[in-house]
Amino acid sequence: MSIGHALLGLLENGPRHGYDLKRAYDERFGHDRPLHYGQVYSTLSRLLRNGLVQVDGTEAGGGPERKRYAITEAGVTDIDGWLGTPEKPEPYLQNTLYAKVVLALMSGRSAQGVLDSQRAEHLRMMRALTRRKADGDLTDQLVCDHALFHLEADLRWLELTAARLDELRVVST
């Protein structure tokens, strides 16, 4: 789960204060693990350093929490790349995928595309495993089956999400 991409995605909707960002993040993605302020500011400063965000203005009183951040051109490109690249299929991806889908929806990008490319990636992996299973011995088969069942579960989740995109769009924007 990349906090940097998530913050970038949230900034894409408009400049925000650091405090706002944390609140927005927690609301959407941090149900069980809210961010610490420290994590927010360290991530923001990394993004600043890489030129993906810029400081939009500072309110009187100084201090880090008074700065307003905005996304740069480079930041948007980075987000594009991230959303367009399927994750490597592995177990427990749902947090990342969920964030990707929500951010794609918030920014008006194709959430369906995100899901489709991800499911293609998953299937490619499953096909490879299936082939290995066919050639391998029993141990191999059992190991592959374990992975296959997990991947299948993820894939089903992807399908379910795809089927419920419209509901999700209402909730997340």
Partner 1 sequence: MTELLVAKGLAKAFGPTNALVDASMSVRAGELVAVMGPSGSGKSTLLHCLAGILKPDAGSVTYRDAELSAMPDSERSALRRNDFGFVFQFGQLVPELTFLENVALPLRLGGMRRAEAERSAKVWMDLLEVGDIASKRPGEASGGQGQRVAVARALATEPKVLFADEPTGALDSLNGERVLRLLFDAARQTGAAVVLVTHEPRVAAYADREVVVRDGRTQDVELVA
- Residues near partner 1 (CB under 8 A): 86, 113, 116-117, 119-124, 126-127, 129-130, 148-149, 151-152, 155-156, 159, 163
Q: How far is the CB of 90 from partner 1 (least distance, A)?
A: 16
Give the nearer residue to partner 1 in terms of CB position, either 120 or 171.
Answer: 120
Distance separating alpha carbons of residues 162 and 103, to the nearest angstrom: 15
The beta strand positions in 7-165, using DSSP E, are 16-17, 53-58, 67-71
Question: Looking at beta carbons only, is 33 or 127 nearer to partner 1?
Answer: 127
DSSP helix/strand/coil, 172: helix
Q: What are phi and psi of 16, to 5 degrees?
A: -145, 160
The residue among 33 and 156 lying less far from partner 1, judged by its C-beta, is: 156
* Residue among 53 and 155 whose Cβ is closer to partner 1: 155
How far is the C-alpha of 97 from the C-alpha of 115, rounded, in Å? 8
Cα Rg of the chain, angstroms: 19
